[in-house]
Structure 1
């Protein structure tokens, strides 16, 4: 399983409603792409002040494997949603951190 983690520094002018709309677009991708196991969306709730480096919102998408993740990356709807996220992020792409983890079962 691949866990695709995306953390965002939204521009201060982006409203909560706009954030919700962007995250709804990401969540909706699971309706037409196979291999998406789950989508988790939310704000950072860590008590470690300042450790988020301003990446206060984000989402994670769990994929069955690398093939499903790779199909998501080139999907037209994902590309549109990603472009909108970049527009909403502080500094464009610099305001987005992407980190993929390969989740392996403990033996």
Structure 2
């Protein structure tokens, strides 16, 4: 299993509608990629205060690394990724992305 974790530090002017657009586009990727088993989208709820501005995020789970790689290469994923980068504070600097393999 692979959990592809993405945390976003949104620009202050990013509206809820813009975020909804991003999250709806992410959900639409699920049927495009065999082996994509789930998408969880949520705001940060940690009481520790260590979020460093990363207020929201999502985790996409895959059965295999090959399924994750197919997702990363998908043209619709590239479009959603561009929307995310555009909405993040500082562009790519406003993102934290890492994968957990287990």
How many angstroms apart in 1 are the aligned matches of 2:31 and 2:8?
A: 23
How many angstroms apart in 2 are the aligned matches of 1:22 and 1:80?
A: 10
Q: CA deviation at 1:27?
A: 1.3
Q: CA deviation at 1:68?
A: 0.2
Count of aligned positions: 102
Please give the secondary structure, in 2, of the residue aligned with 1:54. Answer: coil
Please give the secondary structure, in 1, of the residue aligned with 2:89. Answer: coil
Q: CA deviation at 1:21?
A: 1.1
Partner of 1:61: 60
Partner of 1:93: 92
List gaps (5 residues or longer) in structure 1. none
Please give the secondary structure, in 1, of the residue aligned with 2:79. Answer: helix
How many angstroms apart in 1 are the aligned matches of 2:58 and 2:28?
A: 13
Partner of 1:2: 2
How many angstroms apart in 2 are the aligned matches of 1:27 and 1:93?
A: 21
What is the root-mean-square deviation of aligned Cα atoms in Å? 0.6
User: What is the CA deviation profile of residues 6-35 of structure 1, one whole-angstrom value per residue up to 9, with x for unaligned ones?
Assistant: 000000000011101101111110022111
Q: Runs of 4 or more off by more than 2 Å in structure 1?
A: none
TM-score, structure 1 normalization: 0.93
TM-score, structure 2 normalization: 0.97
